Structure 1
Amino acid sequence: GMAMANQAASRSHVPVGLLMVNPKPDLSKLEDILQYSFADKDILQRALTHTSAVSPGRRVNDSYQRLEFLGDRILGLVAADLLFKRLPDAKEGELARALNSIVRKEACAAVAIELGLGSFIQMDKSEARNGGREKPSVLADVCEAIIGAVYVDGGFSSSFDFVTRIFSAHIAAADKPQIDAKTKLQEWAQGRGFPTPQYLEIERTGPAHNPVFSIEVKIEGFETIAAQGPSKKTAEQSVAELFLRREGILET
């Protein structure tokens, strides 16, 4: 079986791994959804190809990982540019929080779901059977990879327009004044004579270039609570907000 598959693959130049996946998705249908037409269809194909769908030796060139790396940076730059212009009076910390609400994996996964990207993702059968096409982490990665693909295919202005369009709802929501949860918690604690909230880093996971910080907040007399974030600052804001919501100080 495998030898035959290998022969067939070498004849048709299809990477062996791709023999296991769903038939090639209809890229023109996806281009309609994305409202962007690729000059190089192969790059769109690569942006949709999970590592499980290609043989290990081809992963660097045939899966979405490199495009995802690029798309992540493009998304951050476009979002920062838009926020810088739209929030002329925002402090650096407020801009950072607004930016995080746009570029975080949950937002990218939500955009991928809105666009219906899941059905276009190429992955091997077992990965797909295990719900791979619905995994938020995979959906977020593919969303970023497509942004990277638009940038490589059409240049910066194409990717700028593309991100502005597909993230419009998230960018608009980020404009809303973000609560500074740490300050609010500090004021609440002081106002009631409680000690100052203490923030402790309890864990750091993930690779150096993409760490996840777990921070817990302690106020004497209250149960501790923890939250995660891509930086200590954002994790501290998240955990302060969780505390405020748990104690009913912030409306959910």
Structure 2
Amino acid sequence: MPPFIDTHGHYAWQIDDGMPSIIEAKQALALARSQHIEAIIATPHLLPGIDGPEVLKKDLARIAELKNLAKMYHIDIYPGSEIMLHSANIGQSLIPMADSHYLLCEFDVRKGIQPHEHHFEDWLYEVILLGYTPIIAHAERYFHQGIDCDRIAACIQMGCYVQVNSTSFLYKHVPVFQKNAYTLLEHNLVHLIASDTHRATAPRCPNLADCWQKLVQHYPAKELEKLFYANPLAIIQDRTLQPTTLARPSRLKQWFFFLRRRST
């Protein structure tokens, strides 16, 4: 099994809705190591226009503590944030991913895409105008009535990248989210798979190895490696992310049927 880099996780304790204590943070780091995770980008929530320099200072200090703590588990920690896009006012109180030009961006998952219907692309474009490249966090979770691949593809064409949660592949707590995740994957619209860890226990825990083992049964390891390691490493090194070239299972079935007919 290859090593993994977790690009979205709330491992830093007592600064958002992630780890409630340093004890649970230690448990999460131990689990991450057992899941073959060798590096983590810590991404505490930030609310642009509301969270100011003092919040950033506090978050960065706690991430520094997490970095020191993670050395015990042989895991590298990089700073980052998950910014909630709620208006065109992005501001400057931001923590890019691993000091790169990438910025992890989310919308209100509870409300879904509908309230953001006329702002989704506009607010992402505001991030681009600031000189950052948006990573759309857990894109599968905004479309409560089914994924709109054309809209996600348009965001990618605009200059964004897409992250999907490993939990969406592993669990069916919200069936439409799992269906959305697989649809995005099979249409080559995913660039990163990350845990979005909030706790040391399932379901929102470090689980990249579990997700890898499930997906590699159906998709080429070479392509999955882009999502679990190569593209995450590209973020840390501030390089361009690469798309996958996965064939959809339906097309594979058609191809095998065609070959079988030719051989008879």
**Under TM normalisation by the shorter chain, which class is it?**
under 0.3
* TM-score w.r.t. length of structure 2: 0.25
* TM-score w.r.t. length of structure 1: 0.26
Task: Return the structure number with greater strand share.
Answer: 2
Q: Which has the higher contact order (CA 8 A, sep 6+)?
A: 2
